[in-house]
Amino acid sequence: MHLAWSEIKRNRTRFLLIAFIIALITTLVLFIVALAEGLGSGNIEGLTKLDANLLVFQDKSKLSLAASALPWERLRQVKRVPGVLAAGAVGFSAASIPAGETLSGVALDVAFLGVQPGEPGSPPIVQGRPLRTEREKAAVIDRHTQLRTGLQPGDTLIIRTVQDAKDEYYSLPVVGITDARQFSLRPSVFVPLRTWDAMRPGSKANLESREIVPSFLAVQTDSSISQTEMIRRLTSEVSDVEVVDLKTAWEATPGYKEQQSTLSLQQGFTWLIGLLVVGVFFQIITLQKVGQVGVLKAMGAPAALIVRSALTQIAIVTTSGVLLGALGSFGLALGIPPTVPLSWPLDRLAITLISLLVLGPIGGLISLRILLKVEPLTALGLAK
Amino acid sequence: MQPILRTNEVTKVYEARGGSVRAVDGVSMSLNRGEFIAIVGPSGSGKTTLLALLAGLLRPTAGSVLIGDQDLAGLSEGERARFRREKIGFTFQANNLVPYLTVRENVELAARLKGRLGPVERRRAVELLDRLGLGERLNALPSQLSGGQQQRVAIARALAHDPLVVLADEPTASLDTERGHQVVQVFRDLVKEQNGAGVIVTHDLRLLRFTDAAIRMVDGRVTDTLRGGENLNVVCEIYESMCGVARRQGQQLLAGAS
């Protein structure tokens, strides 16, 4: 311990350098993890946060929210299946908030959803009040929409959809704010289902149809019956549908899997680079010490002492580096606007930090081996 | 009086590509408490290998080494390390001092290695350094000292834990005559004060002035054992034989050139 500290104190520069490099690697890895989380959740949180456990899509629509379209009758059919506690129809389309209404001065593309108030699919409220009836001319916006527009409950929302190749503008009072619910990184706007039907983009043909055509159904089932069994029942009782659990649905979100695996790859490679850099550094300083270590061993220093001293140094350097990196990331994160998709879930951060702490000792293993193999005879110039 | 250090036909053979090399060939010697001897000889004579055997750093191929009645061959690697840090003091040609420890911390190193650095050990370190004239430089770093001063710190460190035997490998290697002789004198005085035994390996025959006895090695064997007043005469003999060898080699060179 004393030997370890004395050496670091006398050679401050080089140890600070490696701690700094570890700090940089830490910051980089933490940001990649945060980006993966942020982009990931930004992609799928609309689905992950649904108050349902099964989703019903049009068969052969590849679980695409945009492509799936169900005849109204399906809702009735689903509700009749034993084990179904509740089911809500959800309409999904695209819309945008015009440039003049956003804080950035650029038009904001949003996910435009029609829900049945009180049924699965209808979002919970954190500010204001929820949607009450199916025909209400009211909107609930999510946190992200609020961030980009500055809208509060009581304000008016202007929203634009394309209908029959024409831009149509609608204004609705904002009555409530829900938590962050993005769909494929688009913030969301919720309106009652019939209001949605009247406003949604569409071609002339489907605008003239009388029936509401929801995109998918959010279903809550009895938890005492297994999901597999419920899926089987629904698929057999309801025609032309594909029934999946939430996880399958969000994993099918276009680009999600590729995005996550790319980011995981980046994270892994960065960690590996850190490992190599730390390993090389400790190898170099160890090789420089071989003569000295030989003398210590000739004097009778126990191998345990030498290894303990080296491990202590590695631990000190790694821990301070990771700490520095974590603090640096925290500071940087404070300065980044909330619209950037970064998310910092504590459990993933904890695991990441542990993996970085372990990086030091693993990288230093080779140098430990060098130390163990130094022969005391080198002190007398007799080693091979 | 029981000798404190004894070797009995100790031999070290190395297997090399051209055959085997007898680095140390049947050396028997004994040393009593308070004795200070030198091992001299040309390079390659095996004197450093003998030192390594005396320290237990090498296992003999044959024969034995006993220090204070302990046969070193009977000890495991870990036990020999323990023996060295408790019973043997060492100074080396290079890397003697730890560069990032102060003078005083370097002398305390022996105690630290044993895991026991208390007020007694600390005081002893200071006393020794005082005795060696380094009392003013306790907190200096080795890089701030001269070669002679560094060597004296090394001696203090070698003696701090009261070893039975002190071994020194070329203690005057990078020092000029005057400083070198000072260092060896101090070494001898301290060894005798502590009633231990000291062995220095050196190629500098002038140091024989300070030793009680000397053994001369050539090609792994002891050719002469010198005691007391014989030293000066034998030194002359050694130089003469070296001259003889040089003359013959010169003649061969000239014969080959023509």
A22-68 pLDDT, tens digit per residue, is 999 999 999 999 999 999 989 999 999 999 999 999 999 999 998 99
- What mean pLDDT comes out for the span A77-99? 93
Q: For residue A251, give the H/E element and its range.
A: helix A246-251
Do you know the residue count of chain B? 258
Distance (Å, whole) CA A138 – CA A190: 9
Q: Which of B47, B59, B92 to mutate to test the interface with A (most CBs of A within 10 A)?
A: B92
Q: For residue A227, give the H/E element and its range.
A: helix A227-237
- What mean pLDDT comes out for the span A79-99? 93
> pLDDT-based confidence at A143, cuts 50/70/90?
very high
Alpha-carbon distances of A280 from A73, A274, A365, B12, rounded to whole Å: 67, 10, 11, 38
Q: Where are the beta strands (DSSP E) in chain A?
A: 54-58, 84-97, 108-115, 127-128, 139-142, 156-163, 166-178, 188-192, 216-221, 241-245
Residue B33: per-residue pLDDT? 92
Distance (Å, whole) CA A39 – CA A276: 29
- Residue range B164-209, pLDDT digits in tens: 999 999 998 888 888 888 889 988 999 999 899 999 999 888 888 8
> pLDDT-based confidence at B236, cuts 50/70/90?
low
pLDDT at position A343 over 90? no
Residue B250: per-residue pLDDT? 84
pLDDT at position A285 over 60? yes
Q: What is the strand order of the sheet B221-227 is part of?
A: B88-91, B165-169, B197-201, B36-40, B213-218, B221-227
pLDDT at position A384 over 70? no
% helix, strand, coil for chain B, step of 5 = 45, 25, 30
Residue A1: per-residue pLDDT? 82
Residue B258: per-residue pLDDT? 56
Q: Does A337 touch chain B (CB under 8 A)?
A: no
Residue A209: per-residue pLDDT? 64
User: What SS3 class is residue B221?
Assistant: strand
Give the torsion sign (CA, A194, A195, A200, A203): positive
Residue B204: per-residue pLDDT? 84
CA atoms within 13 A on the CB side of A120: 25
- What mean pLDDT comes out for the span B103-116? 90
pLDDT at position B32 over 60? yes
* Pairs of CB atoms within 8 A across A/B: 79
Top pLDDT among B227 and B16 is at B16
Q: For residue B64, give the H/E element and its range.
A: strand B62-67
User: To the nearest whole number, what is the mean pLDDT of chain A?
Assistant: 91
Residue B116: per-residue pLDDT? 82
Residue A317: per-residue pLDDT? 92
Residues with Cβ within 8 Å of A96's Cβ and at least 6 positions away in sequence, in order, are A107, A108, A109, A110, A159, A160, A161
CB atoms within 10 A of CB B179: 17
User: To the nearest whole number, what is the mean pLDDT of chain B?
Assistant: 88
Distance (Å, whole) CA A260 – CA B247: 83
Q: Which CATH entry fits the domain spanning B5-227: 3.10.20.880, 3.40.50.2000, 3.40.50.300, 3.30.300.20?
A: 3.40.50.300
- What mean pLDDT comes out for the span A310-319? 92
Asked if B113 and A2 come within 8 Å (Cβ–Cβ), the reply is no
Distance (Å, whole) CA A7 – CA A288: 13
Q: Does A303 touch chain B (CB under 8 A)?
A: yes
Of B142, B139, B81, the residue nearest B114 (C-alpha): B81
Distance (Å, whole) CA B236 – CA A325: 70
Alpha-carbon distances of A115 from A75, A79, A202, A215, rounded to whole Å: 13, 16, 18, 11
- Residue range A175-213, pLDDT digits in tens: 999 999 999 999 999 999 999 988 888 765 555 667 889
**Cβ-based contacts of A3 with chain B (< 8 Å):** 98, 101, 112
**Cβ-based contacts of B110 with chain A (< 8 Å):** 299
Q: Which of B76, B82, B83, B98 to mutate to test the interface with A (most CBs of A within 10 A)?
A: B98
Closest residue of chain A to B85, computed from CA coordinates? A300
